[in-house]
Structure 1
Amino acid sequence: MVLATFANVSLAETFDHQHKTYAQVLENHVQWSENGTRSTVDYATLKAYPNNLNQYLEQLSGVEKSQLKTWSRDQQLAFLINAYNAFTLKLIIDHYPVDSIRDIGTFWQNPWKMRFFTLLGEEMHLDQVEHEIIREPGVYNEPRIHFAVNCASIGCPALRTEPFTAKQLEQQLEDSTERFLQDETRNRYRDGRLEVSSIFKWYREDFERGWQGIDSLDAFFLRYADSLGLSEAEREELREGAVEYRFLDYDWTLNE
């Protein structure tokens, strides 16, 4: 079990909420691309020099559930998003070179169900972090996490070049959402309908749970009409509920 032996109380007690070690990983190996709407990762170099990543994963694995509960809501959420992204990096470099994260795993077990790390005192898989903890109904109620967690694929919203922190969380979530929606290859208004990422099909319920008073995809896209570049006429169609949706195919090619 990767990293299971590293968990200890001292690491939990001294956890660095600025995520400085992880910041070095992202600064050294992640770059913005496509006018800042996407990012790429230098997995080959990260695989050759994994010390900072391994050190950060060791810190993550040292945090117990009881410790997490003492933190603020934003500290918890930043911790969980960073954990998901950092362990995804670990998964990729442990199997690199690969063409896609979906090439990892077996016929019986996809990569998101592999229990390869320890978090909060438990052997976990990535789906558990995202779907059972971050997305647990009534806990964080934060649909913008779908533009923050990164699945190492071109179709996925960008992995940021710095960690999420409690102090900057709101700004970072908003910025990540706007960057993703500005990418016309993945989200666009065309021929009287919105053609958007399949993220909005897979997790539609998260965007309709009442965050910021939003209870529909129409309302969500109205909030981000500027990022989508919608005209006033197109916004009015959204207000009237007259917009059809087409959910685009997802590109699972590795984001390197």
Structure 2
Amino acid sequence: MKLILKKIAMKYKIITLIVLFMSSLSFAQNTDAFFTSSDAFFKEYVKGGRVNYKAIKNNPAELERILASTNGITVDKSDANTYQAFWVNIYNLSVIKGIIKKYPVKSPLDIKGFFDKTKHAVGGKKITLNDIEHKLLRGQFNDARFHFVLVCAGLGCPPIISEAYLPSTLDKQLDRQTRIALNSDSFIKVNARKKRVQLSEIMKWYKEDFTQNGNEIDFINKYREEKIAEKSKISYYPYNWNLNKTN
């Protein structure tokens, strides 16, 4: 009897292992397909930090398919790189979807509730863009670099890239985009002679993210090649909400 019970237990153990293996294989296939499709989409429709909304509006099927596919994927935050890359891509794709639903528009702010009211059925949830940014990303991970990869469709935002964020390259991509923004004269305006610096309003709105280990200049100088004088006077220039569309 004991031998029979041992055989049954072993059988169930093997079955459980097979189910877990198949589930993990299916998860990997689903996430890989999402990242591959997203990468191809961004390469097709993003050029020079701008989006070809008109072309997507004329052929929205692929964008709809990619976003719909995310509802069959559950990513746990314990797998931090996959989780973050997944939701950063979803955010940027959902912004594009929100724009093309009302396109042509001059600014995302022309669409009522664009960030805080409109809900997107993505990742098995019905959530707003603000939920993705503030609850799923900023609320879970202490990384100010998110501000340089989450693109709000305004020209004041750091530029959207023509590739997907991938788990295997995420840290390098976050670092690269942060460096690009903080070394750009269009994002950081420095008057070295007068020791004055004008920063994007992003750094005013989310000041607490940039001042965890010093002040804003300390954060900027961590990534900037031409360092800013520590005692520079800081001000903030108005955010450009004009749409980041291709010309």
TM-score of the alignment, normalized to the shorter chain, above 0.5:
yes
Change (3 A) 1:31 1:120: closer
TM-score if structure 2 supplies the norm length? Answer: 0.82
Structure 2 counterpart of 1:51: 61
Matching residue within 103, 116, 119 for 1:116:
119
Structure 2 counterpart of 1:131: 134
1:16 aligns with 2:15: no
The answer on whether the counterparts of 1:148 and 1:159 sit within 8 Å (CA) in structure 2 is yes
1:1-256 paired onto structure 2 within 5 Å: 13=27, 14-17=29-32, 19-32=35-48, 39-63=49-73, 67-69=74-76, 72-105=79-112, 110-136=113-139, 139-190=140-191, 191-209=194-212, 214-226=213-225, 229-230=226-227, 234=228, 237-238=229-230, 242-256=231-245
SS of corresponding position for 1:68: coil
User: Per-residue deviation at 1:70?
Assistant: 6.8
User: Per-residue deviation at 1:42?
Assistant: 0.6
SS of corresponding position for 1:111: coil
SS of corresponding position for 1:189: strand
CA distances 1:198-219 after superposition (whole Å, capped 9, x unpaired): 110001111123xxxx332122
Q: What is the CA–CA distance in structure 1 between the aligned matches of 2:183 and 2:217, rounded to whole Å?
A: 17
Uncovered stretches (5+) of structure 1, i.e. residues with no partner: 1-8, 33-38
SS of corresponding position for 2:175: helix
AA aligned to 2:122 is L
Uncovered stretches (5+) of structure 2, i.e. residues with no partner: 1-22
Greater alpha carbon shift after TM alignment, 214-223 vs 77-86: 214-223
AA aligned to 1:62 is G
AA aligned to 1:220 is F
AA aligned to 1:244 is K
Q: How many residues align?
A: 218
TM-score if structure 1 supplies the norm length? Answer: 0.80
Identity %: 26
